Amino acid sequence: MRNSRPDILAFQDHVIIPDPDAPTLHMAELYGNDNPLEVDIGSGKGRFLIARAHKHPDVNYLGIERQLGRVYRTAKKADHRGLTNIKVTQVEARLGLSEMLPDESVTTFYIFFPDPWPKRRHERRRLVSQPFLDLLHSKLAPRGCIHFATDHKDYAEATAIVFGDDARFSSIPPFEPSEDELTDFELIFTAQSKPTNRLSIQKQ
């Protein structure tokens, strides 16, 4: 039987395989420079990440994604475009952030269209919560930002409460991606005439 598992090692320059014995990443060694680090949580197939990295070669980008196939696609795109400032890893978001990222190492987090878990009994499974915001705060550099987007109105309202109740952050104008930076999910929702709700906050 043919093995359909994508060979992510074919693009190993762009893929981080977590080391359980030494999980914390050393960014300067990993990227070969001390440029600012921006992290896309749930980076999907990499449309936003690729476009952003192409425009900002002086910024390092890390994509965190659970699905191996999406990691493979992003790494392949980065390799084909010759982008040296992108890395992507297959890991659950909370685990990846808590174990892999040094404290105060990230200038920007992007959280675009996370699973809204629309049923009330499933709301506790949503990514954005006060404990998760505590984790992001510990990893953000001073004045670092968090940009959030969802098509789900209830999730946006719940996130606005979590963000607004935390005095360690201040509200800033929402981040607006350019057309080429829109995620695959946003393109689908826009075609369905679903509005996007955006929120941005900055660490004090």
Q: Which DSSP helix (H) or strand (E) runs through 199?
A: strand 197-203
Q: How many CA atoms lie within 13 A of 26 on its CB side?
A: 3
Comparing 30-34, 114-118, 136-140, 172-176, which segment has the lowest mean pLDDT? 114-118
Residues 58-105 have pLDDT tens digits of 999 999 999 999 999 999 999 999 999 999 999 999 999 999 999 999
Neighbour-count burial for 98-123, b at 16+ CB within 10 Å, e otherwise? eebbeeebbbbbbbbbbebeeeeeee
Q: 119 falls in which pLDDT band (50, 70, 90)?
A: confident
CA dihedral sign of residues 73, 42, 115, 190: negative
Q: 1 falls in which pLDDT band (50, 70, 90)?
A: very low
Q: 19: burial class by Cβ within 10 Å (0-12, 13-18, 19+)? A: exposed
Comparing 52-66, 108-122, 177-191, which segment has the lowest mean pLDDT? 108-122
Q: Quickly list DSSP for 64-95.
A: EES-HHHHHHHHHHHHHTT-SSEEEEE--HHH
Partners of 109 in the β-ladder? 39, 146
Q: Average pLDDT in the 173-191 region? A: 96
Residues 12-25 have pLDDT tens digits of 899 999 888 889 99
**Do residues 48 and 112 touch, judged by C-beta distance below 8 A?**
yes
Domains in the chain, please, with CATH?
Answer: 31-203 (3.40.50.150)
For residue 149, the model assigns a pLDDT of 98
**Do residues 180 and 127 touch, judged by C-beta distance below 8 A?**
no
Indicate which residue of 13, 19, 103, 115 is catalytic.
Answer: 115
Q: 5 falls in which pLDDT band (50, 70, 90)?
A: low
Q: Note the pTM of the prediction, 2 decimals.
A: 0.93
Alpha carbon dihedral 145, 28, 87, 58, in 10-degree steps, equals 60
Residues 131-158 have pLDDT tens digits of 999 999 999 999 999 999 999 999 999 9
Catalytic status, residue 34: no
Q: Which distant-in-sequence residues (6+ apart) come within 8 Å of 74 by Cβ? A: 14, 43, 44, 45, 46, 49, 50, 63, 65, 86, 88
* Rounded-to-integer distance, Cα 108 and Cα 126, Å: 20
DSSP 117: -
